[in-house]
Chains A and B, each alone.
Chain A
Amino acid sequence: MTILNGCSFDVARAAITTVIGPNGAGKSTTFKAIFGLLPLRAGCVMLDGQDVTGLTPLQLIARGLCYIPQGRNIFPELSVRENIELGGVALGRAAAMRARVDEALDRFPVLRQKAHAQASTLSGGQQKLLEISRGLIGRPRLMLIDEPSIGLSPLLVQEVFATLQDLREDGMSVLMVEQNARSALEMSDRAIVLEGGRTRLVGTARDILADPRVARLFLGAEIELDDTR
């Protein structure tokens, strides 16, 4: 079955690019296709001018990609530290793995505090931070993150977004899918509107945010939703 057709966009370096679109638009499918989890019938994925189409997730991680799927991705039975270590399975060496786990824990003091606790005891926001810190073990240049705000309270959403902004300051690129379109676009550099497996609009986040069609389609509904909270 072909889900994406006419989906084409660029991701800028050291910037946050947000993909918005209605449910079933193919946003998650796009990410899975980029990350080599779904086969492409046609088209290609380029990273730093190199064709990476058809590479395995392991090869893509080695080239600086990381993917945080939609929903819950932690291993609830394992400790926080063990969860982060699993981000290092793509690394060849045990010593490198452990050193980077410590780096990740230094970055997130909340996680350092709970390093030995079972990951299921973390709050939803902390669990998202755990997933991000695990992704960082591979030192990614581009992070694909699918709906990080799902199921989080507005305050925690801000915390997760702030983390992504920090990572951007460090030079990492982020490609993010968000339903929380308004707040996501406000902190993004570029935006892509995907609908029916096709890229409808591509532009700076500011332009997309100001586009009346987008406002009618997504942002209006978004505001209504926010009011009912």
Chain B
Amino acid sequence: MAHSSGRSLAASLLLIALASVLPMVLQPYGIYLLSLWAVYTIAAIGLNLTLGFAGQMSLAHAAFVGIGAYCTALLGAHGVPFPATLLAATLLAYGVGWCVGYPALRVQGHYLAFVTLAFTTLVFLVLRNEAWLTGGIAGISNIARPRLFATPTAYLRLCLAALLAVSLAVWWLLRSPWGRAFIALRENPIRAMSLGVDVRRYTLLAFAIGAALGGIAGAFYAPLVQYIEPSPFALGFSINLLMMVVIGGAGYFLGPFLGALIAVLLPEWLRFLHDVYLAFYALAVILLLLVCPTGLLGLSERLLAQRGGRPAERADA
């Protein structure tokens, strides 16, 4: 299903608007979490495009975020202004994503998961071992924020503006014939071909655009945390992104917004559990997926349908 109705766009805009006024009542840590939510959401929107809409399994997205983050940090350290580093990060991730798409022309599903997993590991090893470029395990510190957005609140607003721009662009994309082609590709590549979808081109595009969004997320992540090292971009983060997409509802426009919210908040709420927190986190996720394998939005759609109402997320003209 397309799930990119005007209503889901309105809901996402509302969330962004809400997030932009919240800093008034939040502690600095809350502002940081909200910024993190915006960044994660952008990355998850990218994966949702690749996986949820175009049906291409990917565990490579942590690497795309890492590429974006390192590109921004390294260029920024040489005095390149933020808009230029953002552009560079986006283009670099787009190009790398296009290349990572090639295996998807040959293998699908679990095999594709393994190939993309290998890619994430490869990028992680490069980040860790090529210390002359990346700083190795010591990482890169003192990453500057753009001068106009140096305070936490201002930087949060910048992240939210980026999220807004990404949301509008992706919403437009999904409702265009291009977006429809992604859905045809996901549903049935052979049938898509007889409708004139160039399966090869759209498979590569699905990776490239998804990766570019990962790169954008990374470009905003680095100045947010101001210190990066390889470990946040390891396989675990790819799986975390996958969880955000699946829990929110893969193939739902609003899915990444909810999934990222849970990924940011749940660990905070479960903090009182100390060491066993991860076990409970895993349990919560497993339960959630047992109850609603199509994610939170799939569940809400099912409930609405049972009550006799029209599905909430239908893509009406």
Contact = CB atoms under 8 A, between A and B. Distances in A.
A and B form one complex? yes
Interface of A: 35, 37, 56-58, 60-61, 67-69, 73, 75, 77-79, 81-82, 85-94, 97-98, 101-102, 116, 134, 138
Interface string B19-51: 000000000000000000000000000000000
Contact of B315 (A35, A73, A82, A92): A82
Given A81-B317, A90-B196, 13 more contacts: A37-B193, A73-B191, A75-B191, A77-B187, A79-B314, A81-B316, A82-B2, A86-B183, A93-B177, A94-B177, A97-B177, A97-B180, A101-B317
B306 interface: no
Contacts, number: 82
A77 B191 CA distance: 13
A77 B314 CA distance: 13
Contacts of B78: none
B194 A77 contact: no
Given A69-B194, A116-B310, A91 B177 contact: yes
Interface of B: 1-2, 175-178, 180-181, 183-184, 187-188, 191-198, 310-311, 314-317
A67 B198 contact: no
Given A75-B187, A77-B1, A78-B187, A86 B317 contact: no
A56 B177 contact: no
A61 B196 CA distance: 7
Nearest to A73: B191
Contacts of A60: 196
A58 B198 contact: yes
Given A86-B184, A94-B176, A73 B1 contact: no
A68 B183 CA distance: 19
Contacts of B195: 57, 61, 86-87, 89-90, 134
